[in-house]
Structure 1
Amino acid sequence: MSHGNARLTPVGRLTMVQRIAAGRPVAHVASEMGISRTSAWKWWRRYRAEGLAGLIDRPSVAHSHPRRTSPCRETRVLIARMLTRRGALTIAAKTGVPASTVGRILVRRQVPALCDVDPITGVLIRGSRRSPNRYEHPYPGALLHIDVKKIGRIPDGGGWRVHGRSEQARGRGIGYDYLHTAIDDHSRFAFVERCDDEKGTTAAVVLRRAVAHYAKLGVRIEAIISDNAFAYRRSRELAATCAELGIQQRFIQPAHPWTNGKVERLNRTLATEWAYSRAWTSNTERANALQPWLDYYNLERPHSGIGGQRPIDRINNGPGQNI
């Protein structure tokens, strides 16, 4: 389509070719119309070959794409997305197609984003909200995000995901597992412990174990950040533990959960890739799968938030600290 300042519109091109058809030199008509002789010759040739249809704007898209990904490879990418419901980096590792190409294929085929679909069925369930403001501390240990993820326990024999929603009472009254989660801001190296409650005393014990776990990797925790839950804001035990370990305690602004977004994202990944990744037959079966999944998350899984690296890569190759 002609832009607003175009020298020639389809009507102007018709005027030009009519003058040329009357016997006027192409160069003279081009000068009168304020365009180049090359452009005038182009439209004159098109008019002679196609008539009035040759004066209409044509799309600039290429007629062929010889280097475009083959339909067979695109199908492999779509099947991998359907079966795994994972991101471009994971699909690239499984199919051999570059992650950037995987992303373009998913966009071209209008595949919904992972955050917009149900993690089990893949059915579109909601829209997404993303914030363009991001931050990252310069080295491991500078800040540790902490939170608690509450998930319902699974009765022996499986819950509604095994037997269907018709059995509404199945699993009621058996309580919850409280996942005390922590993730390093720079490396995304995660620590998760399954507990029976979310009390401040429990949070303090878990923090002490998390600090010891990171210390084995050569990382000293300098500060933690959490939401304003009672176990964090009001717990004397947690405050005393932070003081003893020399850790600064920070809190997010109320009603601003995205400030603690890295651990919130970890919680969602936990739910998608572990807690609700399949229909478990018992709570013990799911609990036993937590540590293997966490090892995969930290040691093998590529993370798009850190450029496709693994968390252990950033631990091993990150900037030095004042330990």
Structure 2
Amino acid sequence: MPHRNAPLTETGRLRLARCVVEDGWPLRRAAERFQVSPTTAQRWADRYRALGEAGMADHSSRPHRSPRRTPTRTERRIIKVRLARRWGPARIAHLLGLVPSTVHRVLVRYRLARLTHLDRATGRVIRRYEWDRPGELVHVDIKKLGNIPDGGGHKTLGRQAGRKNRKNAGYSYVHTAVDDHSRLAYSEIHPDEKKETATAFWTRAHAFFTSVGITVERVLTDNGACYKSHTWRDALADAGITHKRTRPYRPQTNGKVERLNRTLLDEWAYAKPYRSEQERRDAFPTWLHTYNHHRGHTALKGQPPASRVPNLSGQYT
């Protein structure tokens, strides 16, 4: 395929070259006829004399020699450190006495996966997946948050005063369920993560998904005590739902809800200096509605989760 700025296609180059080489046209006349410079006409004529029709194809613009390219021995050292320690360009550069941009170019040249795409424990590329329809898999998890004392924490009062005010504030537990296909989320804030609380949360989450036309088939959780309980097991079994658990120490298996936890921390929990825990909790329903109905999701090509759930009410409110 010719370069998008090339004045001639391969056919046009061949016609120009034949006019010069075979028909004896002067270079300037051929250049004017094909609306190119005499230098360009000379180049294609010379290539035709040397290579024939094959010379009309685009050649690589890569230089024959690269005297300033990073030596092969150095490249091998960079790759060895990356594979063994799974470090980024800055740390590798410091260890080897190089510039981070040089290390980055080498990693890109050899198409080594980004660290965010790797399982840090094994070094293997994480396989991304998405179930075909809503309800085939729902991710469930709990996020523990320190409560904000009345009057505000360190973001409002400063670090020293906030630390004093922080005593005995306690913790909150955000229970969340996320549909794998649509990323539609249901979430509640509770004072604990006991089996009774987790099971009651799931009962309401299940009712929510059912109300929008999603039939839950499988639920994926970590290995927390509440999810190993008979109470949790019986609740899923009674609804005909298969329970799956992640492998120990592999939170990325439940990555979609883990990613949502990061999002709610950045965009809700720590998004502003709240004056009390109640103020933060009061803001949560509005944030969750925005996430489901209006916030564009990169995995959904910029569309909100509601775009994949036709039966979801209040989509544009």
TM over 0.5, shorter chain: yes
Quote the RMSD (CA, aligned, Å): 2.6
Q: Which runs of 5+ in 2 are unaligned?
A: 1-39, 47-60, 64-100, 102-113, 119-125, 313-317
Count of aligned positions: 202
Residue 175 and residue 128 in structure 1: after superposition, are their counterparts in 2 closer, same or farther (change >3 A)? farther
Offset at 1:251? 0.4
Residue of structure 2 aligned with 1:38, choices 36, 42, 45: 42
- Find the aligned partners of 1:306 and 1:277 in 2 and give their Cα distance: 24
1:148 corresponds to 2:148:
no
What's the CA shift for 1:40? 10
How many angstroms does 1:183 deviate by? 0.3
Name the CA distance, whole Å, in 1 between partners of 2:292 and 2:207. Answer: 16
Which residue is 2:288 aligned to? 294
Residue 211 of structure 2: which of 213, 216, 232 is its match? Answer: 216
Aligned twin of 2:116: 129
Q: Do the aligned partners of 2:175 and 2:189 also contact (CA within 8 Å) in 1?
A: yes
Deviation digits for residues 107-135 of structure 1, max 9, x if unmatched? xxx9xxxxxxxxxxxxxxxx962345201
Residue 41 of structure 1, CA deviation: 10
Q: Which amino acid aligns with 1:129?
A: T
Structure with greater contact order relative to length (CA < 8 Å, sep ≥ 6): 1
Amino acid at match of 1:149: K
Cα offsets for 1:63-111 (capped at 9, x unmatched): xxxxxxxxxxxxxxxxxxxxxxxxxxxxxxxxxxxxxxxxxxxxxxx9x
Question: Distance in 2 between the 1:149 and 1:166 partners?
Answer: 26
Q: What's 2:254 paired with?
A: 260
Structure 1 residue 150 displacement after superposition: 0.5
Matched-pair identity in %:
42
Deviating above 3 A after TM superposition, structure 1's stretches of 4 or more consecutive aligned residues are 36-42
Match of residue 176 from structure 2: 181
Render the CA deviation track for 1:228-248: whole Å, top value 9, x for unaligned. Answer: 111112x11101100111110
Q: Quick check: 1:238 aligned with 2:232? A: yes
Aligned residue for 1:169? Answer: 164
User: Could you tell me how far 1:261 is from its partner in structure 2?
Assistant: 0.2
What is the distance in 2 between the residues matched to 1:178 and 1:271?
12
Match for 2:194 among 190, 195, 199? 199
Superposed counterparts of 1:305-320, under 5 Å: 305-316=299-310
Aligned equivalents of 1:204, 1:257: Cα separation in 2: 21
1:58-97 equivalences in 2 (<5 Å): none
1:214 & 1:311 partners in 2: Cα distance? Answer: 13
Q: Distance in 1 between matches of 2:223 and 2:200?
A: 18
1:210 alignment partner AA: A
Deviation at residue 169 of structure 1 after TM alignment: 2.3
Read off the aligned partner of 2:218 and give its amino acid letter. Answer: A
Counterpart AA for 1:269? T
* Structure 2 counterpart of 1:10: none
Residue identity matched to 1:223: R
SS at match of 1:289: helix
1:260 positional shift: 0.3
Q: 2:185 aligns with which of 178, 187, 190?
A: 190
Give 2:220's match in structure 1, choosing from 222, 225, 228: 225
Q: Corresponding residue for 1:80?
A: none
Asked if the contact 2:213/2:311 (under 8 Å) is kept, the reply is: no
* 1:110-129 paired onto structure 2 within 5 Å: 129=116
Contact 2:297 2:305 in 1 (8 A): yes
Q: How far is the alpha carbon of 1:317 from its aligned partner?
A: 8.4
* Secondary structure at the counterpart of residue 310 of structure 2: helix
2:141 and 2:44 map into 1 onto residues whose CA distance is: 69
Residues 1:184 and 1:152: Cα distance change in structure 2 (over 3 Å): same
**Cα distance in 2, alignment partners of residues 316 and 310 from structure 1:** 12
- Inter-CA distance 133–37: structure 2 relative to 1 (3 Å threshold): same
Indicate conservation of the 8 Å contact 2:212/2:311, yes or no: no
1:293 to 1:40, Cα distance in 2 relative to 1, 3 A: closer
Instruction: Name structure 1 gaps, 5 residues minimum.
Output: 1-35, 43-56, 60-109, 111-126, 319-323
Amino acid at match of 2:117: R
Aligned-pair CA distance for 1:147:
0.3
Distance 2:167 2:266 in 1: 22
- How far apart, in 2, do the equivalents of 1:38 and 1:268 lie? 61
